[in-house]
Amino acid sequence: VSYVFEESESGDLRFVGDFDGLYRAEADPWGQSGDGGELASYYRLSRDRLSEAVGRLYTGGKLKGIEIGCGHGFALQRLAEAVGGHWSGMDIAPSAVMRARLLHPNLTFYAGSITGPLPMPPSSVGYFDVAILSQLLWYVIDKIDEAVLNAARLTKVGGLVIVSQAFLKGEQRYGADIADGFRGTLALFLARFPALELIEARYDDGNEHAHHDGLMIFRKTRHAQ
């Protein structure tokens, strides 16, 4: 069964997007716990870079952050430990959210899609200091405007909107027509979201981990669209 992408006979990838099915079928999708497996060292690198950047760039009071596409909440837990403050997560897969609540009772979780009407209380609009799209890009690329504008909506003016994303070392077989690699993704954001000002872009293309890692940090300069 293909839960996320399905390969056609011609070798093209078609997006399936049955994330709840995936979480019901597998204990640790993508090895996201970082507990062993071939991606463990990549997750460490990526989550350390993300936590370091948030800790360095956020200089306000007690931080309120949200991760969109949080899965079982392991990246969130790392952020909460490294940076402090209060962290929330949202994910399209109710099964992932249920498990995340059990694993991290100190964090708050919402179930819903970032590309639809926000499944969060109205008070969450403009509430967060930091909103992170973490390892989510390819699953929302067809609705990137909705996803990013929703993330920005949750963020206060002056707050940070961050993309933390793995990029394949080899050929990108999906979404390259919209965002080709790290450079293409950055170009897309700069062209489409003028209310988001780029403050940092870093790409780690070292060979020692399973993936390359991209980090893009924007400041929300005004309410938009």
**DSSP E strand boundaries for the chain:** 5-7, 13-15, 64-68, 86-91, 108-111, 128-134, 155-167, 196-204, 212-220
Verify binding: residue 159, ligand SAM, rule CB under 6 A: no
Tell the smallest beta-carbon distance from residue 61 to ligand SAM (Å): 25
**DSSP E strand boundaries for 24-150:** 64-68, 86-91, 108-111, 128-134
Question: Among 42, 87, 127, 139, which residue interacts with ligand SAM (rule: CB under 6 A)?
Answer: 139
Give φ, ψ of 121 to 5 degrees: -60, 150
Q: Left if phi > 0, otherwise alpha if psi is -120 to 50, otherwise beta: which for 14? A: beta
Tell the smallest beta-carbon distance from residue 206 to ligand SAM (Å): 19
Question: Among 115, 188, 195, 201, which residue interacts with ligand SAM (rule: CB under 6 A)?
Answer: 115
Determine the interface stretch with ligand SAM among 7-15, 50-58, 131-139, 174-182 (rule: CB under 6 A).
131-139
Question: Among 3, 63, 71, 97, which residue interacts with ligand SAM (rule: CB under 6 A)?
Answer: 71
Determine the interface stretch with ligand SAM among 79-87, 110-118, 119-127, 201-209 (rule: CB under 6 A).
110-118
Residue 51 CA: distances (Å) to CA of 104, 128, 134, 143, 168: 18, 16, 12, 27, 22
Tell the smallest beta-carbon distance from residue 10 to ligand SAM (Å): 25
Q: Which is nearer to ligand SAM, 69 or 214 (CB)?
A: 69
Tell the smallest beta-carbon distance from residue 133 to ligand SAM (Å): 9
Q: Which stretches of the chain bind ligand SAM, using CB under 6 A?
A: 19, 30, 32, 68-71, 74-75, 90-93, 96, 113-115, 134-136, 139-140
